[in-house]
Amino acid sequence: MTDALDLLRSRPLVVLTGAGLSTDSGIPDYRGPGSPARAPMTYQEFVATPDARQRYWARSHLGWGRMRHAAPNDGHRALAALDPELLITQNVDGLHEAAGSRRLVALHGRIADVVCLGCRETSSRVSLHERLTALNPGFASRHAAAEVRPDGDVDLDDTAGFVVPSCGGCGGVLKPDVVFFGENVPAPRVERCYAAVDGLASSGGALLVAGSSLTVMSGFRFVRRAARAGVPVVIVNRGVTRGDDHATYKLDVGCSEFLSELAAA
């Protein structure tokens, strides 16, 4: 770990974070060691049928009721203190923002926002949560034992009868303003991240990956781009990642531990 810290200590940094960074805040990840296999809902499934949306919103309503109370951990606070050139996160939990990070791109959006697929108006998840609670009295208490899953939902099959409201403006379908599997990350976000990674080559900087298996291309492409440009890449993650072959250093240690050491250094 010392060599990796020495490499990063005095360089400009771009940091890419994944779900492994938020596990210390009580939010489970998809692919960490011991994580059960999960099949998240795709965008195509969500828009296909009212039953799919009912299933999604019932589970997400319960998960959001718990996730909204999660607090930033030492890793989030360390990154806020480090203030890298750009913080790229694949997480939708908003904990980087809560910790004080500002030069940030939330690749997949934020679960705290809701968008109408008809008129494209965005609104607060808090407001929708209140509507869902009023339309489904007692639902949360009946399923209090449901296990929390990543991205703000729970493991629940009994969703029949759950009432899902439409957009208050146009009556359209409401969706969390996050990138589902099967959707593309908006191009302006990707281009901003590419520009930051490209800038590392001329500034002598490094790319740090914290808590991501890099399984999906949305994050892996930045590691691949950095490595091709000769930019040092440090990966901190429990378990194997897709980017290990591109890494200057790969550390199988906790994110909070490593980032706190880096901030102190």
Q: Which pLDDT does position 152 carry in this prediction?
A: 66
Instruction: Please state, in angstroms and rounded to a whole number, the distance separating the CA atoms of residues 182 and 80.
Output: 31
Q: How confident is the model at residue 167 (pLDDT cuts 50, 70, 90)?
A: very high
Residues 152-190 as b or e (16 or more Cβ within 10 Å = b): bbbebeebeebebeebeeeebbbbbbbbbeeeebeeebb
Spatial separation of the C-alpha atoms in residues 13 and 87, rounded to whole Å? 9
**Pair 159, 125 in one domain:** yes
Q: Which of 149, 178, 207 is the last residue of a domain?
A: 178
255 annotated as a binding-site residue? no
Question: How confident is the prediction for the chain on average, in pLDDT?
Answer: 93
State the catalytic residue, choosing from 108, 129, 143, 246: 108
Any known ligand binding at 193?
no
Q: Are residues 193 and 78 in the same domain?
A: yes
Q: Which of 133, 148, 178 is the last residue of a domain?
A: 178
Lowest mean pLDDT among 30-44, 195-209, 240-254: 30-44
CATH of the domain at 167: 3.30.1600
Please provide the size of the chain in residues. 265
DSSP state of 181: B
How many domains is the chain partitioned into structurally?
2
pTM over 0.85: yes
Per the structure, the complete domain to which residue 83 belongs is given by 1-27+72-108+185-265
Per the annotation, the verdict on 108 as an active-site residue is: yes
Confirm or deny that 116 is annotated as ligand binding. yes
Residues 118 and 172 placed together within one structural domain of the fold? yes
Lowest mean pLDDT among 101-110, 136-145, 177-186: 136-145
